[in-house]
């Protein structure tokens, strides 16, 4: 089973339902929409993909099956940006 967690401590700001993540080590700025910001908060602690999907589905009152591919794609993008680590159990 694969788990995800924020890779480090970053400067994070929420501005008008958008999130801005400043990675001062890599000199990058990443912006997230409201749903992305919620996912970011969820992975402050190590979570499996299923746990992340369930948290988002519950919070936004939608079905897990409808968001699974989007959440996986989002997590892969955060990994590519160096903001999230993936662990295989």
Burial tier of 65 (Cβ tally within 10 Å: 0-12, 13-18, 19+): exposed
CA distance 63 to 26: 36
Tell me what percent of the residues of the chain surpass a pLDDT of 90. Answer: 84
Answer yes or no: is pLDDT of 89 > 80. no
The helix or strand, by DSSP H or E, that contains position 45, with its residue range, turns out to be none
Domains and CATH numbers, the chain: 2-88 (1.10.10)
Q: How confident is the model at residue 4 (pLDDT cuts 50, 70, 90)?
A: very high
For residue 76, the tally of other CB atoms under 10 A from its CB is 12
Contact 68, 56 (CB under 8 A): no
């Amino acid at each position: 089973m694969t788990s995800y967690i924020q890779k480090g401590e970053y400067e994070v700001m929420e501005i008008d339902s958008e999130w801005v993540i400043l990675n001062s080590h890599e000199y990058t700025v990443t912006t997230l929409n409201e749903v992305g910001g919620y996912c970011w908060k969820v992975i402050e602690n190590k979570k499996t993909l299923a746990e992340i999907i369930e948290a988002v589905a519950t919070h936004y009152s939608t079905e897990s099956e409808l968001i699974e591919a989007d959440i996986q794609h989002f997590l892969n993008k955060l990994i590519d940006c160096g903001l999230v680590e993936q662990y295989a159990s």
